Structure formats: structure tokens, C-alpha cells
């Protein structure tokens, strides 16, 4: 595993939504107890139903498990993945050739991929990369907090070139603002 120096989680900021998401991710990572951070860029928008979604049973019935599993996004949807580990002096360093989080497998296998086993002590974030083209975007986070896993999602819309939350699940707007403020301070 090759590790590169860093400090702040660098996300290629292709548009205003991704820049906003990058600040939120940096703040959430800074405040978390995560020993590693994984950031996954997905090709299209997704909604809050993906939060804690585990897969389908009998090919049709959606399942949301008590023991949170890795969301079963198909690997074809993954545009990019970045991996970081906490540095000894704080902040995070990039890990080159980190583990691929999403894999092609059956729904029954998806139902068994518990987040705590696949990504122990890690925070993971997923965001949609086509926001400007469709006028809506998504960000979802699974973040360790006090021995538990905090899961949340943000659906955003763009009006007059400004991204604002349209749906929040598992996080309040004040918490989201706080994460962004911490991310800005960390980058500054």
C-alpha cells in the first residue's frame, strides 16, 4: 500500500456542488473517529433511499438492515474512489491502490457485507458527479461516532448557480453547516 503526504482530503473539484461536498466531507472526517476515509464518486444522482439500503431479497423486496451494510452500488456506477488514512500528526494522507469498496456480486452477498467488517473504523462518503447536468446532486456519509455509525444523506438542488439542501436524512441543516465550517477551517 503506497501512501502519499497530504493533510486535507483533496477531492477533484469539478463544479460548485463537488466543492461544497468536499468541504462537508473534510469537516466530517476531521470531527470523526475515523482511522480511514473513503470517498466514492458515482456517475449519477441517487436519492435518500440508498441510505442504509442493503439490497434486495427474492429479487424484488428492498431490505434495510439493522447491521448497516455497504450500500450495493454497482461497480459500473463508480467513476472514482479515493482512500485516505489518518496521519500520526493529524489530518489524512492519501493511500494509493486502496481497496475497491464496490464489487459485482449477488444481492444475497450484498446483504452480508456489514460495513463494520468491510470498513472497520472508517468513514465513507458517496457523491454524485453529474449535478450540474441534471440540476440535482447527492452526498451520503457513513461516519464512526462514539462507537456507533452515524449515517446521513443530503439531496441538493441548484437554483441560480447556488446549491442548497432539498432533502436531509440523518443530519440537521445546522450540523451540515457546522461540518462545512470545519472543512473550510481545515483547508484554510
CA dihedral 33, 54, 139, 101 (to 10 degrees): 70
Quick: pLDDT tens for 86-113.
888 777 888 888 888 888 877 777 777 7
Determine which helix (DSSP H) or strand (DSSP E) holds 43, and give its type and residue range: none
CB 73 within 8 A of CB 54: no
Q: Phi-psi category of 91—alpha, beta or left, where left has phi over 0 and alpha has psi -120 to 50?
A: left
> CA–CA distance from 145 to each of 33, 57, 121, 151 (Å)?
6, 30, 9, 10
Kindly report, residue by residue over 32-52, the tens digit of the pLDDT: 878 999 999 999 888 888 787
Higher local confidence (pLDDT), 62 or 118: 118
Work out the average pLDDT over 15-29.
91
Query: Is 28:35 a contact under the CB 8 Å cutoff?
Result: no
Q: What average pLDDT score do residues 134-156 get?
A: 91
Using CA atoms, how far residue 75 sits from 40, 72, 137, in Å, is 10, 9, 19
Amino acid at each position: 500500500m503506497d501512501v502519499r503526504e497530504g493533510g486535507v482530503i483533496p477531492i477533484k473539484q469539478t463544479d460548485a456542488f463537488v466543492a461544497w461536498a468536499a468541504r462537508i466531507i473534510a469537516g466530517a472526517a476531521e470531527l470523526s473517529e475515523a482511522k480511514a476515509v473513503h470517498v466514492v464518486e458515482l456517475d449519477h444522482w441517487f436519492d435518500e433511499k440508498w441510505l442504509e439500503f442493503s439490497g434486495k431479497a427474492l429479487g424484488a423486496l428492498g431490505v434495510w438492515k439493522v447491521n448497516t451494510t455497504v450500500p450495493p452500488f454497482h461497480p459500473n456506477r463508480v467513476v472514482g474512489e479515493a482512500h485516505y488514512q489518518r496521519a500520526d500528526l493529524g489530518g489524512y494522507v492519501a493511500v494509493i491502490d486502496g481497496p475497491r469498496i464496490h464489487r459485482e456480486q449477488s444481492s444475497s452477498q450484498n446483504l452480508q457485507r456489514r460495513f463494520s467488517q468491510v470498513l472497520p473504523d472508517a468513514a465513507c462518503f458517496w457523491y454524485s458527479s453529474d449535478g450540474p447536468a441534471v440540476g440535482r446532486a447527492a452526498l451520503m456519509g457513513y461516519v464512526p461516532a462514539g462507537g456507533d455509525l452515524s449515517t446521513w444523506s443530503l439531496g441538493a438542488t441548484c437554483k441560480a448557480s447556488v446549491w442548497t439542501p432539498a432533502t436531509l436524512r440523518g443530519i440537521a441543516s445546522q450540523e451540515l453547516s457546522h461540518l462545512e465550517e470545519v472543512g473550510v477551517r481545515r483547508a484554510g
